[in-house]
Amino acid sequence: MQVAVERPARSLRETAAVQLRRGFIANLPVAASVAAYGSVLGVLAAQKGIGWLMLLMMNLSIFAGSAQFVMVDMWVAPLPVVEIVIAVMIINMRYLLIGASLQPLFRGKPLGHKMGMMHLVADENWAVTMAAHRSGTATTAFLFGGGLCVLSAWCAGTMLGHRLGAVVQNPEAFALDFAFVAVFTALTVSLWRGREDVLPWLVAAVVAIGVEKLLPGKWYILAGGMAGALVPVFRRTGRKPRGENSNELG
Amino acid sequence: MNLADPEMTAIMAVIGAAAATYGLRLGGLLLSERLPQNGGFRRFMEALPGTILLSLVAPGILAAGTWGAVAAASTALCTWKTRNVFLSMIIGVAIVAAARRLGW
C-alpha cells in the first residue's frame, strides 16, 4: 500500500485529543487511496454476492485490506472457513512485526490501553506514525486518530464500490476480475526492498506457481511465501544489511 | 447453531479472520521483547510481506495469458515509477479491458 511520509514537528506536550486530530489529518492523503482501493473490493464483494452488512462487518472487525481481498476471492459456497482463516493469518503475519515495532510508542502504557489501541493499526497509519515517530512527535493517540481516518475511508470506499458492483452487469467486460491481480501486483511492487529481494522473490514465484499446479486450495500462498522468505535466512554474508540488521552480519 | 447454514458459516469465517488478525496485532506488541530482534528469524519476517504477496499473485498473472502479463508488467512499472497503487491498478485493468474489447 502507499506510504505517505508526514512529518508533524510540534510539541509532544499536546493533549490526547489534539494528537488524535493530528493523526487523523496526517493520514488524509493515504486515506484517499485507501478509499479508491476499497471501492474495488466493494465491487468484487458485490459480484460474489456478499451483502453490504457482511462487508461492513469485515471492515470493522478485520480491518486489513489484503486479507479482505483474499477472503472475498475465496468466498465460494460452501465457505472453506478453516482455509480462509489460515490464509488471513498468513497474509497478516506481518502484523506481528508491525506490532513489535510499535513497542517504543507503547512503553509504560497499561495493558488495557494496548488492547484498545492495537485494533486500528493498518499498514497506512502505522507507516505515517512511524515517520512521525522518527521526528519524535508520535503518540498512541496519533496512531489511533490515523486508524480512525483510514477506517472511515475504507468503509466509505467499500460501501460505494458495493453499490456500484450491484449495478455492473458483466464485470468481465471491464476486466474487474483482473482488478484483484492488478491491485496485488501494485502492492507487491511497493514492498520491493532492493536487490536483496531478487532471489527470495524468484524462489517465491517459482514455488507458488509450482505448488498451485500440484496442490488444491490456497496452500501455494504459504508455500511460496515461506520458501522465498527462507532465502535471506540462509544467506548470511555478501549483501549489505539493511537498517536494524546492520550490526549482526559484521 | 446450525453449522451448515451459509449465513452462520460466513459469520464464523469473519470472526475467525478478525480474531486471527487482532491476535497478531496485539501479540506482536506484547511479544516484542521476546521476538528475536536480529538473526535469521528477523530476516525471515522482514522478507515475508513481499514474498507472500508475490506468491498470492504470481499464479494469477500466469493464468491471465499474454495480455494479463503485459498488464501486470505495466502495473508493476507504474507502481515502481509513481508509487501510486491506485493509478497502477487502473492501468492494468484498462489494458486487459481494452484487449478483451478488441478481441485480442
Q: Average pLDDT in the A82-97 region?
A: 87
Looking at residue B2, what is its pLDDT? 56
DSSP assignment of A187-244 equals HHHHT--SGGGHHHHHHHHHHHHHHHHHSSTTHHHHHHHHHHHHHHHH--SSSPPPGG
ipTM of this complex > 0.90?
no
More confident residue, A50 or A7: A50
* pLDDT level of residue A13 (50, 70, 90 thresholds): low
Q: Is residue A40 within 8 angstroms of chain B, CB to CB?
A: yes
Looking at residue B1, what is its pLDDT? 52
Residue % of chain A over a pLDDT of 90: 45
What is the DSSP-derived secondary structure letter of residue A15?
A: -
State CA A156 to chain mean position distance.
17
Is the pLDDT at A222 greater than 50? The verdict is yes
Q: Average pLDDT in the A216-220 region?
A: 78
Q: What is the pLDDT of residues A167-206, one digit of tens each?
A: 777 777 778 778 778 878 887 887 788 999 999 999 999 9
Determine contact, residues B96/A178, Cβ cutoff 8 Å.
yes
In chain B, domain spans: 55-104
Contact check, Cβ <8 Å, B55/A223: yes
Contact check, Cβ <8 Å, B9/A179: no
More confident residue, A10 or B8: B8
What is the CA angle A64-A68-A73, rounded to 5? Answer: 160
A96: left (phi over 0), alpha (psi -120 to 50) or beta: alpha
Query: For residues A186 and A60, what is the distance between their CA atoms, to the nearest angstrom?
Result: 24
* pLDDT level of residue B4 (50, 70, 90 thresholds): low
Which of B14, B35, B75 has its CB closest to that of A100? Answer: B35
CA-based nearest residue to A151, from A57, A63, A70, A69: A63
Taking the CB of residue A4, how many other CB atoms lie within 10 A of it?
17
Is the pLDDT at A213 greater than 90? The verdict is yes
B-chain CB neighbours of A121 within 8 Å are 25
Contact check, Cβ <8 Å, A233/B54: no
Distance from CA of A6 to the nearest CA of B (A): 16
Q: Is residue A219 within 8 angstroms of chain B, CB to CB?
A: no
Terminal C-alpha separation, chain B: 50
Best of A107, A124, A178, A236 to mutate (most B CBs within 10 Å, chain B):
A178
Contact check, Cβ <8 Å, B46/A232: yes
- The DSSP H or E segment spanning A124 is helix A123-134
Which of A1, A173, A178 has its CB closest to that of B68? Answer: A178
In chain A, domain spans: 16-191, 194-239
Of A35-39, B33-37, B39-43, the poorest mean pLDDT is in B33-37
Query: For residues B17 and B20, what is the distance between their CA atoms, to the nearest angstrom?
Result: 5
Q: What is the pLDDT of residues A114-144, one digit of tens each?
A: 999 999 999 889 988 988 887 788 899 999 9
CA-based nearest residue to B53, from A213, A187, A34, A212: A187
Q: Is residue A205 within 8 angstroms of chain B, CB to CB?
A: yes
C-alpha cell at A97: 512485526
Looking at residue A181, what is its pLDDT? 85
Query: For residues A203 and A224, what is the distance between their CA atoms, to the nearest angstrom?
Result: 7
CA dihedral angle for residue A230, residue A236, residue A242, residue A248, rounded to 10 degrees? 120
Which of A64, A189, A244 has its CB closest to that of B21? Answer: A64
Contact check, Cβ <8 Å, A189/B62: no
Residue % of chain B over a pLDDT of 70: 95
